[in-house]
A and B are shown apart, each in its own frame.
Chain A
């Protein structure tokens, strides 16, 4: 059974803080994704990665960066958190063999004050 975990379910940070959101998958998936989910806007892709040390910008990369040093771990970094980054962040992974099926983590609800 695929398991995707995220480091925190809830997080409260202050404006200007550096924030790290971590995602780990245990199925040896090559592909990993970060989305943010806001009411009425659906799931919007921030960044994704096809392999270790590789990253691709999604639709809304501004204000975010990512790191993938190990295959199972994909980190989302908010260099200087702002209030408009208050959101639900969802991580997902997929295998190249069954490439399109994405498995989601439980999400991290981030509040930036």
Chain B
């Protein structure tokens, strides 16, 4: 089955700096890659996603890039703010074989003022 690796497991940045979280996947048939943000004590929520026919997608301060050849994708957060502090999960799925997501183990991001 699909295996998703996520790095780093923890990341600390100063407010205003950029943060990058990287994920790799094993199944070349995977074609959908969402990112979820989970604030302390709250449920995971989708923040951005990308499909395999697109190389990059941006939404204000967050962006995701996908390299299908290398089978990795990354989340970029620019101009970080303390409210960006949370656990971020990447995931991958092959929508042609079902709707289940395979999640990475998460990255705990801390943005210090």
Q: How many Cβ-Cβ contacts under 8 Å join chain A to chain B? A: 56
The distance in angstroms between the C-alpha atoms of A83 and B46, with both chains bound, is: 31
User: Counting chain A CB atoms within 10 Å of each CB, which of B9, B49, B95, B103 scores highest?
Assistant: B103
Scoring B residues 30 to 59 as 1 if CB is less than 8 Å from chain A, else 0, what string do you get?
Answer: 001010000000111110010000000000
CA distance A90 to B9 in the complex (A): 21
B101 partner residues in chain A, CB cutoff 8 A: 45, 100, 102
Cross-chain contact of B104 among A33, A42, A58, A59 (Cβ < 8 A): A42
Interface residues on A, range: 20 to 34
In the complex, the answer to whether A59 meets B1 with C-beta atoms within 8 Å is yes
- A48 x B100 contact (CB < 8 A): yes
- In the complex the two chains form, what is the Cα distance from A101 to B49 in whole Å? 9
- The complex places the Cα of A56 from the Cα of B98 at a distance, in Å, of 10
B72 contacts which chain A residues (CB < 8 A)? none
CA distance A48 to B101 in the complex (A): 10
- Say yes or no for B73: interface residue by CB 8 A criterion: no
The answer to whether B44 touches A43, judged by C-beta atoms less than 8 angstroms apart, is yes
A104 with B105: CB separation less than 8 A: no
B85 within 8 A of A: no
A residues contacting B by CB (< 8 A) are 31, 33, 35, 40-45, 48, 50, 56, 58-59, 90, 94, 96, 99-107
Extra pairs beyond A33-B100, A42-B106, A90-B43 (16, CB < 8 Å): A31-B99, A40-B9, A41-B105, A42-B89, A42-B104, A43-B44, A43-B106, A44-B103, A45-B102, A48-B99, A94-B99, A100-B49, A100-B101, A101-B49, A104-B45, A106-B42
Give chain B's interface residues, CB within 8 Å of chain A. 1, 6, 9, 32, 34, 42-46, 49, 89, 93, 95, 98-106
Give 15 CB contacts A-B under 8 Å. Answer: A31-B99, A33-B100, A42-B89, A42-B104, A45-B101, A48-B99, A50-B98, A56-B100, A100-B95, A102-B46, A103-B46, A104-B43, A104-B44, A104-B45, A105-B43
